[in-house]
Amino acid sequence: MGVRDRIRLTTIEKVIERKLSTSKESNPYENAMKQLESTASIIKLDPDVHEMLRYPKRILSVSLPVRMDNGHVKNFQGYRVQFNDARGPFKGGIRYHPNVTLDEVKALATWMTWKCSVVDIPYGGAKGGVICDPKNMSMAEKEAVTRRYTAMIADFIGPYRDVPAPDVYTDSQTMSWILDTYSQIKGYQVPEVVTGKPIALGGSEGRNNSTARGCIICAREAAKELNIPLKGATAAIQGYGNAGSWSAVFLQELGVKVVAASDSSGAIYSKNGLDSAQTLRHKEKTGSVKGLQGTEEIDAEKLLELDVDILIPAALENSITADNAGNVKAKIISEAANGPTTPEADKVLERNKVLVVPDILANAGGVTVSYLEWVQNLNRQHWAEEQVNAQLEQKMVSAFNAAYQTSKKYNVAMRSGALAIAIQRVADAIKLLGIWP
């Protein structure tokens, strides 16, 4: 496992801790349905279509008996929720965690549907999960769980049915096992059954930094709308994992001065700006951004309230809340993380005229390049990174402009605009297809 992967796992652990602390307060699927309800009123969604979108198309619950290293059999519970495929094959990651719940997987499948739609790629939304503790499992045990899970859902996935990808505590190795198991069942190699694979098995160039690249493309386009010159602009990054560290690289390339960064251990600040490569090397060496020469340590919570042009939340859920949103001074927030802003905070930020590029759009670069990987696999091609990045650029700019203009059309925040265009596209597809039989 590479250093960037280890950094990413540390960030994921913090996200999960935050998620567990708030799980008692809200049901994720109920939240997803509230978003649907709110957006339905904005776009005047056909009541019949709304009724169809209240429920996943298919929910698979599978039993996974696995012989563990101690010789005994242990049974695991697995899920695959396929929410909607009106716009194309189901698409969504698979997560391994002891606190996976069916409602969580249903919510994530719902949000994947909107995410694929807002960037206008021909996928529906799905999500998978296995209740297990991968941190206390050997590599052989994780492989056995993965192959059993794949065998149990094999009749319901495939290049034109459902294309899984990595998520929490799964990675390119997990995808390799799924690819091999599915291919053994089919009798021939089917690389296009999953995305997020190693390059050697058909993975795409540019996939490792695609989430950050898409996020910074969105921040750049937002700056254009607000007439903020990027050369000399300032930024702060919460979370210096994979998405955060690559965001720093891309911001620096645009001439933006990243003055602050944080990780799970603390935060640093330098009015002269941080060098992205130097900061990452320091983190790789010490395990934290803290202590970087030429910087001062600041309160991690205060990083969100710095007087900067661009804020990149790339770490925790629910980081920007009603308690601190009023102190946010950034003009643009581009959400690299999932759910960093609470609904209550959204209202405050909108009132204060902060342009928030929502996670459903800002971090969709990953699934966009997953789509490009799938296209390459279907055609047995392998594109240069420049070609992948060019197509990602076109997709993200087009999606940003569509969501921004939709928000203006309905006079709503960009989050609502992104959901409006995403849900409307799915609704249009459903109405055109009709109901059969």
Catalytically active residues are: 127
The phi, psi pair for 309, rounded to 5°, reads -80, -40
Place of tokens 């959901």: 419
CA distances from 150 to 72, 136, 185, 368 (A): 21, 21, 10, 24
**Alpha-carbon span 361 to 355, nearest angstrom:** 13
- CA-based radius of gyration for the chain: 21
257-263/266-269 β-pairing: antiparallel
DSSP line for 389-408:
HHHHHHHHHHHHHHHHHHHH
Give strand pairing partners of 158: 162
Query: Residue written as tokens 């799924």?
Result: 178
Identify residue 197 by its one-letter amino acid code.
K
Angle, vertex CA 237, rays to CA 236 and CA 241, nearest 5: 160
244 secondary structure, DSSP code: H
Question: What is the distance between the alpha carbons of residues 404 and 386, in angstroms, rounded to a whole number?
Answer: 27
> How many angstroms separate the CA atoms of 89 and 78, rounded?
20
How far apart CA 290 and CA 259 sit, in angstroms, is 14
Q: Which residue has the tokens 């979370």?
A: 239
| Three-class secondary structure of residue 97 per DSSP | strand
Parallel, antiparallel, or unpaired for β 355-357 and 58-67? Answer: unpaired
Question: Which residues does 374 contact at the CB level (< 8 Å), separation at least 6?
Answer: 159, 163, 192, 195
Q: Are 193 and 183 in contact (CB under 8 A)?
A: yes
Stated as kind and residue range, the H or E segment containing 166 is strand 162-166
Give the whole-angstrom CA distance, residue 237 versus residue 276.
11
Q: What is the residue whose two structure tokens read 């690289």?
A: 249
Find, among 126, 159, 152, the residue nearest to 59 by Cα.
126
Q: Where are the alpha helices (DSSP H) in 75-171?
A: 102-118, 139-153
Q: How far apart are CA 375 and CA 231, in angstroms?
A: 36
